[in-house]
Amino acid sequence: MPAPPPDVTAVMAVYNEERYVEGGVRSLLDQDLPDGLTLEVVAVSDGSTDGTGAVLDRLAAEDDRLRVFHRPRSNQATCLAFAAEQARGRYVTNLDADDEALPGRLAKQAAFLDEHPKVGWLGTGERRVDQDSGEATDRLLPTDDAAIRRLSARCIPYVHSSVMFRRSLVERGVNYDPEQAFMQDFEFFLRAAAVCEVANLPEVLTMRRIRRASFYQSSLKKSRYNRRLSVLSARAVRQFGLPAWYLAFPAARLGYIYTPESVRRTLRRVGGLTVRPAGGGEPR
């Protein structure tokens, strides 16, 4: 008799992350899960040319909860869509290969979704670790549906490497779009938010590395990133029925990279974002 399907499937799209991928996978497999909550990890190597594939295969041989797929080079959206389609859990959660899930993350997210059946998309706060400076900061986002929708006019209102969503979305045809060259998660979020409520947990449960060497981060030039974010934020204003003046935020996004940090801090506070030194301290 085949084993019953797991409760949670963690998906990971990987391209040339030999250095970090083991830490990311182990942070998922080593989660302290309550009795009755089961896990699988689906890792997709996106045509990696370094030792990423070998690391994943070794980890899969050690733990049969890890399922590894080796695919020809495509893009992150294609790999994530494929991984979500392979998922057997009722909940699907994403983790970037160079990030780590902090203790308790999966259990807390699954419990929240169990208790809030209308919520289909759930993020958490993050610990951002700058690999160049060594500086670590904690970042929290608005937690309720209405505030998250308002914030989407200003910026991405969740941490993609922390998101857990219901597999029922994928079954309804709401999944990552392989045609999206970048910002695929925000575009996916907008389609998800059209059919379910969204939320964030008020806890730091994901560690995210900020580094120039990350392919999926470094390949996106800031100006192009902000142009695409502006388009999707304007779409959010219309989709969520926000006041017309909210369109000023997507327009301002085009010049955000030239905005002084003091002004950025004010914008973050107005938007409901809390950024503080890791572990506590005054928000900034």
State pLDDT tens for residues 207-233.
999 866 554 444 456 778 888 999 999
Q: Could you tell me where the DSSP H helices lie in 164-260? A: 167-171, 184-193, 215-218, 222-239, 248-253
pLDDT at 199: 98
Rounded CA-CA distance 217/4 in Å is 37
Classified by CATH at the fold level, domain 8-277 comes out as Spore Coat Polysaccharide Biosynthesis Protein SpsA; Chain A (3.90.550)
pLDDT at 242: 98
pLDDT tens profile 26-65: 999 999 999 999 999 999 999 999 999 999 999 999 999 9
Domain ranges in the chain?
Answer: 8-277
